[in-house]
Amino acid sequence: MSARVAAGSSRHGGTGSMQPPLLPKLTQSAGRRRWTVGLISGTSMDGVDAALVSIEGRAERRRIHLRAFQTTSYPPVTRKALLRLASGSPTTAEEVSRLNFVLGSLFGDAALAVCRQGRISPRQLTVIGSHGQTVFHQGARPRGHARPLPLRPPSTLQIGEPAVIAERTGIPVVADFRPADMAAGGEGAPLVPLIDYLLFGNAQADVVALNIGGIANVTIIPAGAEPEEVRGFDTGPGNMVIDGLVRHFSRGRKAYDEEGQKARRGKPIESTLAQILSLPFFRRLPPKSAGREEFGDAFLERYFLADKNAAPEDLLSTATELTAKSVAQALRHARPRNAKARRLVVSGGGAHNRFLVERIAALLPEMELAASDRYGIPVDAKEAIAFALLADRTLQGLPGNLPAVTGARHPAVLGKLALP
């Protein structure tokens, strides 16, 4: 499967080169085919997604081919430790440090495994792009404060030590993509809209790309848009609340509501939905990003599990409707009134939840929903593909953020390079 992408404008704010390529020896094949691996573990924290991608051409026109994709599950003890850390439970610097190195090994193993699956020697890789595992992300100022406090600025932390990945694979690694955008005043997320623009932008039609991971995010791409005209932001919970409820009621034996079957049997609790959708996050205008800090365990306990009389199926139906309504509400508010977008390209784990997709389609009857598979991008692989492409852009000295999406003051070359 392959996709031809155009990199758009070279104007300030666009995707053209900002500076000479980094480390010329690594970029000498920029115009020829190069193999890259993208790695990411999302807010669901269930394992490492790895995509082996070939890229041909330069910034103005790139051809992308996905050779292999696989997910390597976390060991249960590792996932439990990550969920505890990300929930804000008491921890130590020692535990964070150890998890950083444990995940570096797991990410390195995932990169080697996807190369074996794709029958490509790791020595053929130009670079590995690793998003890592987010354990904290606060893109906006702390709630209740007019401006960031000296010791509470917006900040983010992704772990999965890139030096360990580089040592394990023998390949240069670009990692830690979000901080450069945040240093320039941005939210640090979402970063995938640039890749959505490159993969799905259409000269004749408006397109909306929806990714439903633990958090849901949208990218709004007007027909024939320049990069600075693209909009994107997190809409709220994707699978996070649904999965949390399933884990709670199954006592950890199950991780998700398969095809939304349990939610389909329930009925949404409208009073709970109204209360949640009135929260400041949903009224806030973009740019905005979210994570477990907004919709993790504390949110689940307060708005769902505190009601001891509610049936599990009703709570799951409510959580599913929350995701669907927050997506629909966000698109109605964010799209210009004269927008003619009829194509909604869906990706992420939530694309497998048939009931959730049906609810989104019912709430947006004017749009034609299609899985990203139709465009050569498997729904589970898009974000891993994105970080392979972002790492390649970093080596070329090209920006990886869209300031109109993140709120950054300027385009920024993203990531930090670890050499083997």
- Rounded to an integer, the average pLDDT of 59-84 is 89
Element (H, E) at 331: helix 312-334
Block residue for tokens 């980094």: 22
d(CA 74, CA 80): 9
Return the pLDDT at 138.
87
Per-residue pLDDT band at 9 (split at 50, 70, 90)? very low
Dump pLDDT digits (tens) for 169-222: 999 999 999 999 999 999 999 999 999 998 898 878 889 999 999 999 999 999
Same domain, 219 and 158: no
- Residues forming beta bridges with residue 12, ordered by sequence position: none
**At residue 31, does pLDDT exceed 80?**
no
- Rounded to an integer, the average pLDDT of 19-32 is 56
Return the pLDDT at 11.
35
d(CA 173, CA 122): 12
Dump pLDDT digits (tens) for 334-371: 865 555 668 899 999 999 999 999 999 999 999 999 99
Of 199, 207, 231, give the one whose Cα is nearest residue 383.
Answer: 199
Strands 125-138 and 34-41 come out as parallel
The share of the chain scoring above pLDDT 90, in percent, equals 73
- Least confident range from 12-16, 69-73, 252-256: namely 12-16
**At residue 239, does pLDDT exceed 80?**
yes
**At residue 330, does pLDDT exceed 50?**
yes
Q: Where are the beta strands (DSSP E) in 278-376?
A: 343-347, 368-371
Compute the chain's Rg from CA coordinates: 20
Return the pLDDT at 152.
73
- Residues forming beta bridges with residue 65, ordered by sequence position: 2, 54
* DSSP per-residue letters across 170-229: SS-EEE--HHHHHHTT------THHHHHHHH--SSS-EEEEEESSEEEEEEE-TT--GGG
Residue 128 CA, distance from chain mean position: 17
Same domain, 139 and 264: no
Rounded to the nearest integer, the mean pLDDT of the chain is 89
d(CA 349, CA 371): 11
Return the pLDDT at 344.
95
Dump pLDDT digits (tens) for 143-176: 444 455 566 788 999 999 999 999 999 999 999 9
Contacts of 43 (CB under 8 A, 6+ apart): 86, 134, 213, 214, 215, 240, 291, 292
Contacts of 281 (CB under 8 A, 6+ apart): 236, 288, 290, 294
- Rounded to an integer, the average pLDDT of 238-260 is 94
Same domain, 170 and 231: no
**At residue 141, does pLDDT exceed 70?**
no
Same domain, 222 and 368: yes
**At residue 17, does pLDDT exceed 80?**
no
Return the pLDDT at 154.
87
Same domain, 165 and 26: yes
Please report, as a single letter, which amino acid is at residue 68. Answer: A
- Rounded to an integer, the average pLDDT of 113-120 is 98
Structure pTM?
0.88
- Rounded to an integer, the average pLDDT of 73-82 is 95
CB 208 within 8 A of CB 345: yes
CB 37 within 8 A of CB 123: no
Same domain, 177 and 247: no
- Rounded to an integer, the average pLDDT of 271-297 is 93
Return the pLDDT at 18.
52
Instruction: Give the DSSP letter of residue 375.
Output: G
Contacts of 171 (CB under 8 A, 6+ apart): 37, 111, 122, 125, 126, 127, 128, 420
CB 103 within 8 A of CB 47: no
Name the phi and psi angles at 215, rounded to 5. -110, 145
Per-residue pLDDT band at 5 (split at 50, 70, 90)? very low
Same domain, 235 and 153: no
Name the phi and psi angles at 275, rounded to 5. -65, -45
Could you list the residue range(s) of the whole structural domain that residue 316 is in? Answer: 200-375
- Read off the CATH number of the domain in which 395 is found: 3.30.420.40
* 33: helix, strand or coil: coil
Return the pLDDT at 10.
36
Return the pLDDT at 159.
98
Return the pLDDT at 221.
93
Q: How many domains does the chain have?
A: 2
Return the pLDDT at 205.
85
**At residue 87, does pLDDT exceed 80?**
yes
Same domain, 336 and 187: no
Same domain, 339 and 234: yes
d(CA 24, CA 395): 9
Same domain, 400 and 356: no
Task: Tell me which of 293 and 382 has the higher pLDDT.
Answer: 382
Q: Tokens for 160?
A: 């999965």
Instruction: Give the DSSP letter of residue 347.
Output: E
**287: preceding bond cis by omega (within 30 degrees):** yes
Of 93, 129, 115, give the one whose Cα is nearest residue 385.
Answer: 129
Same domain, 346 and 210: yes
Q: Is the dihedral of CA 118, 124, 126, 131 positive or negative?
A: positive
Same domain, 369 and 414: no
**At residue 27, does pLDDT exceed 70?**
no
Task: Tell me which of 50 and 10 has the higher pLDDT.
Answer: 50
User: Where do runs of H (alpha helix) occur along 226-289?
Assistant: 240-249, 261-265, 270-277, 280-283
